[in-house]
Amino acid sequence: MFSKIKAIKDLRDQAKQMQNTMEEITAEGSAGWGKVKVRMNGNQKVLSIEIADELMSDKSKLVSILIEAFADTTKNLQKEMAGKMKDMGGIQEMMKGLGM
């Protein structure tokens, strides 16, 4: 019984470590030929948004380009996170600790 409790605590510690690691990962995406840039971390917190001044006058175009930039950032972030997860041993290693 105590081994299961220890395994659960270890899993929780690993999850916390992974969350901290994900916070350190950053990715950037862009759209509109680089006129909009979005940067996010692995916890999907937006770190910065850059918008070219020329886009400020056309709200519908700006919204469209922002959506594209966020999609690009998310795609790039997923690639970064997948690589980091692989480096950390992935989910399988975490589950081994629980005997799964």
For each of the domains in the chain, give its residue range(s) and CATH number, in order of start: 2-96 (3.30.1310.10)
pLDDT band at 31 (very low <50, low <70, confident <90, very high): very high
Inform me whether the pLDDT recorded for 41 exceeds 80: yes
Average pLDDT, the chain: 86
What is the structure's pLDDT at 83? 85
Distance of CA 95 to the CA centre of its chain: 22
Phi, psi dihedrals of residue 45, rounded to the nearest 5°: -90, 130
Phi, psi dihedrals of residue 43, rounded to the nearest 5°: -90, 10
Tokens matching residue 65: 């380009």
pLDDT band at 77 (very low <50, low <70, confident <90, very high): very high
* Residue 73, number of CB atoms within 10 A of its CB: 24
